Amino acid sequence: ITHVVNCAGITTPDFFPEHFVYRTLFINDEPSASIIPHVYDVLEFMEGCRQAGGKVLVHCTQGVSRSCSFCIAYAMLHDKVSYEEAYGEVKAHRGICNPNAGFSSQL
């Protein structure tokens, strides 16, 4: 892992900034929270890492909603697939994937 997307900056600091390149988001896991302002920045960060041969870890507090939402968004845009297809792919790798209703509707 070379890069980290920390979707839980509100509660979880970037513990190892000397070892990883971070993109830190301060988003609550609430249906009223907006992920749209962050999506393209995060996807550009992830794609830049991929093109440089790096590996990205995307995390939040429980790995259920925020981090999965950004992984779904990446799959939708990078692979040009529907929300349902991207969700299925992420869920296959992270069985507890369950974006909150607000995040799902934004995607």
pTM: 0.95
CB 58 within 8 A of CB 5: yes
The pLDDT, as a whole number, for residue 26 is 98
**Edge to edge, what strands does the sheet with 56-59 contain?**
21-24, 3-6, 56-59
Average pLDDT per 10 consecutive residues for the chain, totaling 107 residues: 98 97 98 96 97 98 97 97 98 98 98
The pLDDT, as a whole number, for residue 38 is 97
**Is 60 part of the annotated catalytic residue set?**
yes
Q: How far apart are CA 58 and CA 75, in angstroms?
A: 13
Give me the catalytic one of 7, 49, 60, 68. 60
For 92, the 3-state DSSP assignment is helix
CB 76 within 8 A of CB 86: yes
Q: How far apart are CA 94 and CA 37, in angstroms?
A: 25
Which domains does the chain carry?
Answer: 3-106 (3.90.190.10)
The pLDDT, as a whole number, for residue 59 is 98
